[in-house]
A and B are shown apart, each in its own frame.
Chain A
């Protein structure tokens, strides 16, 4: 996804101009029925317009006022539809860029006459045969029909070691987006590009027929209820005013109604939902439904795979523990020498540790012999002059050195036990018959991950590490990473059972996975995130797909879910709190002629009854536009406990919502009076 798109400004004319046009099209009452608050506003605007036309003929003096009210009521509706149109426009722009990503995959299609042609992956059909050579990405899901190749499927299996894919048998399936490392294979495409997972996602982002999410429905009910209440209130005022000897015009009652009903949140509600999906896409995550985004905010437990998420995935050298009579320097140097020609990740990590932390100079040397690791010998090393340096499994090295069990120094044995107990892997180092010491290999926890888990804990989310390691290793890594719980020697069945158990207790679970054997657990979890590079089965089972295939993404997804709900709650609170000021503007304006004493309620000292009503209506319309950026961006969020979040948001949006309109209406009233609008 291109970077410029992520940085897209909130005020990009390329989005705003089409949105303005869409906003007008969305005035169609049949479309607006989905949004009761704004629908009522539109009906009221239409009614006031009719009364304005009547005034124009019958009482031209009053038409100035009713005309302006009508205009601002229409603006209120327009601003609401505009907010939705802007949000949709941004989503559409995201979808365009997704399509581009897809079309960048290139395929070499084999033609009937044996020649190949280069074509876009998007133009492949089921049954097409493509050639994929070393270094190329496989353009689509399919099956190897000829050849054998090593393929890097690290994201699928969690193992960085390449796997062999060959024609025939059960190792023939290849996944689009994985990379061929060696040789060349012929792949028969089995999934049409148009129906792949990402393609369906694009359709979803673009589709205007967005389903309301459960929480959105509940909130809509609350807003509709409030709208009904205020409808009663306004109708009743007409009757009560009649008793008091005041005849209220439909125009002022309409103005009162629209300012009271929650137009602010009503107008922004769908924009907030669309923007939530949009923010996910910005993080390169695509959700199959808004429901999943909402559920992400509710997650209680995160199931995280150890490899690749919590640790780097390869065991790395972390310490040198010398045998008695050997200096650390000697051990480190021997370890370095024995590993210089070892290209495994473990070997490279030993070199890095020796040259880095232990300051051993690394010179290029020519060795007399290089002994590579085999499954049989389980050791590797070099011969250099008289030195015969070996490192490897402890028992293998002891056998090589000819040291019997009784001869093993107690200190050496203690070091080996200590490493095993903390979940690490000991590698013994020997020079000929001389035992030099042990290298401590361990799973290295990613830096900063502990702090993230602590932040999650503050948010009330438990983290559970899932690993195939034995319980000892798992416990050691779990405590180092600071997770709340772990599942050791976990089979896919264990994962599924764990999720079910947690859900029985009323908790919501999120997990990510990529392998086919993750699919049942992904489907069972409330939020299942599949890696884009994962298998088709995993992607089908999940309700989100991470295009970056980064397992830590779950944490961001949870935050986006929370932010979505918080934005809704904050704007609802703001919208309701606003009403207080509107009453103080409009009620004295309506009745001051009958009861001059009620002027005491005009605490804003607004210029005249008409300017007070007009100012409240204008404020009510403008606040929608003013809050569009907030609705699209979401309220600011930092991980904290519920009580702290609530205190902060109540202060900003509750108290702010109470106070701001007093100032806003007063300012507008000053402008209205200065411009002699009424």
Chain B
């Protein structure tokens, strides 16, 4: 570890910290339906869209109507994206003349982008036409993120309001999220990316003559625009197969920093928006602090583990001061790669700028574990917020009893109905991740796809399902996922991870909204102080650890101890 490395890491977190408040306040205005500085331009567009689709923006929906609207919208999204991928050979903007995407891969990809996972079982530059990338994938980069934000805002309203039956209007929230938040930011970030040298063209490729005199065909495309929303929407699906390790996606240390800043800022600021909308900014900061503590700890462990290098290679004569450089880009080094790896997994982004599978045992464990903690650090845009609120409810329930009152969060009593749905939501992660991993580990056709046998192979499978259920989308590497088994099961895992989780969460929102908001007193468990932050962090780690410790023990943990003992697999 170096001072420069830590300075880089600090610079990023400082930049995000500065952005949280203005961005958070802006989004609070957007979702409260207030006027913003963009209203003169976007207001007419917004109203035109409502008129076109026959939406009455003043009409609010119950939790059920809101959820059904979201599900219907997502279903149409999956179907239409599937159709585009299957029909891309007949659609325009296909300069390379790519054929139709196979059905299982199209299913996997459609689900992947609509659920904001962006798991990629394909190499973009060798599979997807420009049309598929732009009208298919990029569109869903916007819409899946906007959907997550809408859901989070609906949950926020449930806690902000007292005795109401409605949570807002899904169509309005989604439209405003896209129009006022994602679109303007994407335009700005795209332009900066272009300035940094990312390609933005409809050309298929450039042909270059290498030093040896050979002809090299270099893939191009509308990279900058997709890269911008890929990060802003915590999507993570890269234009190229190697994602942000590719010099056209992420050419310099500065572009790397902007990448991470773009993915982190909206999710973090949305928590501030939450605090603002429920009328308790300290609550927002408390949640942000809990997220930051875990995320920074994750960065530190990865950075430390990778800097330590591999003792086996040291005995072979490699300079240990180099640390573990396997799978890393030299232009990023350990600090920026560790930072990217931890943030992208704490965040449900899933873009990568290095090969996680090449990390040390411990370095590879952390990204996996950060996803298994529930994608709440600070998680995907929107999904991270409602995710951590579910954890907050659980923490308040367990510990809140210890102050001798029926547990309450922001004045809303947490009773059996909320617990029932919270447990249903929390069950999804271990059930689907461990279930599919165990089945795959026993299934010859699934085991055949792994890259490295032994504990590392188990990590590959475990990581894949973890990433899918957590709607993260990053891959450990090594696993050949483009098979019927993985395309199908990972697709199912992504669907369950998004929708089987969010439906009970919305049911909680509906139940909370109907409750009266009790004023706080000295007897109320304070949820905006350091004690609560510590408790929340503890609950997240213990719950995550208890669920996944055995599985991790057989994967990265064995690898770690074996590496220390000089054994490789």
Contacts and interface: CB of A to CB of B under 8 A. Distances in A.
B216 interface: no
B18 to A, nearest CB: 31
A358 interface: no
B360 to A, nearest CB: 14
A225 B423 contact: yes
A240 interface: yes
B545 interface: yes
A573 B434 CA distance: 25
A218 interface: yes
B398 interface: yes
Contact of A566 (B162, B402, B411, B435): B402
Nearest to A567: B401
Contacts of B519: 505-507
B525 interface: yes
Contacts of A645: 402-404
A357 to B, nearest CB: 38
A63 interface: no
A475 B413 CA distance: 34
Contacts of B418: 218
Nearest to A637: B404
B391 interface: no
B558 A459 contact: no
Contacts of A214: 406, 415-416
A565 B521 contact: no
B565 A460 contact: no
Contacts of A580: 542, 545-546
B95 interface: no
Nearest to A579: B546
Contacts of B524: 460, 642
Given A506-B517, A583-B546, A637-B404, A236 B535 contact: no
A584 B529 CA distance: 32
A229 B432 CA distance: 11
A222 B455 CA distance: 33
B430 interface: yes
B558 A240 contact: no
A276 to B, nearest CB: 12
Interface string B493-510: 000000000000000000
Contacts of A24: none
A642 to B, nearest CB: 4
B525 A646 contact: yes
Nearest to B462: A240
Given A591-B554, A597-B562, A506 B521 contact: no
Interface in B112-160: none
Main secondary structure of the interface of B (DSSP, over half): helix
A563 interface: yes
A228 B425 CA distance: 13
B398 A647 contact: no
Main secondary structure of the interface of A (DSSP, over half): helix
A91 interface: no
A587 interface: yes
B558 A646 contact: no
A595 interface: yes
Contact of A244 (B394, B435, B455, B531): B455
Contacts of A654: 538
Contact of B542 (A224, A232, A576, A601): A576
Nearest to A215: B406
A457 B522 contact: yes
A647 B526 CA distance: 11
A642 B526 contact: yes
Interface string A598-624: 101100000000000000000000000
A423 interface: no
A646 B416 contact: no
Given A244-B554, A507-B519, A236 B434 contact: yes
A647 B435 CA distance: 38
Given A218-B419, A222-B397, A646-B525, A297 B404 contact: yes
Nearest to B518: A506
Contact of B557 (A236, A237, A462, A598): A598
Contacts of B394: 222
A217 B406 CA distance: 12
Contacts of B561: 595, 597-598, 600-601
Given A562-B405, A597-B562, A650-B402, A239 B441 contact: yes
Contact of B414 (A218, A242, A601): A218
B402 A229 contact: no
A61 interface: no
A300 B550 contact: no
B440 to A, nearest CB: 9
B127 to A, nearest CB: 30
B549 interface: yes
Contacts of B535: 646, 650
Given A215-B401, A240-B437, A562-B405, A643 B567 contact: no
A243 B414 contact: no
A228 B397 contact: no
Nearest to B404: A562
A239 B442 contact: yes
A243 B447 contact: yes
A543 interface: no
B405 A642 contact: yes
B553 A459 contact: no
A232 B531 contact: no
Nearest to A570: B402
Nearest to A635: B402
A237 B439 CA distance: 11
Contacts of B549: 583, 587
Interface in B433-449: 434-435, 437-439, 441-442, 447
A229 B430 contact: yes
Given A569-B399, A650-B535, A577 B542 contact: yes
A441 B367 CA distance: 76
A595 B456 CA distance: 13
Contact of B558 (A232, A562, A598): A598
A460 B434 contact: no
A509 to B, nearest CB: 12
B280 to A, nearest CB: 16
A298 B415 CA distance: 13
Given A217-B416, A218-B416, A298-B405, A240 B400 contact: no
A88 interface: no
Contact of A646 (B431, B441, B531): B531
Contacts of A46: none
B547 interface: yes
Given A221-B423, A460-B522, A572 B458 contact: no
A218 B554 contact: no
Q: Chain A CB within 10 Å — which of B394, B398, B405, B430 has the most?
A: B405
A525 B420 CA distance: 28
A300 B518 contact: yes
A260 interface: yes
Contact of A565 (B404, B416, B424): B404
B435 A236 contact: yes
Interface in B247-283: none
Contacts of A506: 162, 411, 516-519
A677 interface: no
B523 A459 contact: yes
A219 B405 CA distance: 13
Please name the 3 residue pairs, one residue from A and one from B, whose CB atoms are nearest each other, closest first.
A460-B523, A569-B401, A239-B438
29 contacts: A218-B415, A218-B416, A221-B423, A222-B397, A229-B431, A229-B546, A232-B434, A233-B547, A235-B438, A237-B438, A237-B551, A239-B439, A240-B437, A242-B442, A243-B447, A244-B455, A298-B406, A462-B521, A505-B516, A506-B162, A506-B411, A562-B405, A566-B404, A576-B398, A595-B455, A598-B557, A649-B402, A650-B531, A653-B402
Given A218-B419, A235-B434, A244-B455, 17 more contacts: A221-B423, A232-B427, A235-B438, A240-B554, A242-B441, A244-B554, A300-B521, A460-B521, A461-B521, A504-B516, A505-B518, A565-B401, A570-B402, A572-B401, A573-B399, A587-B550, A601-B561
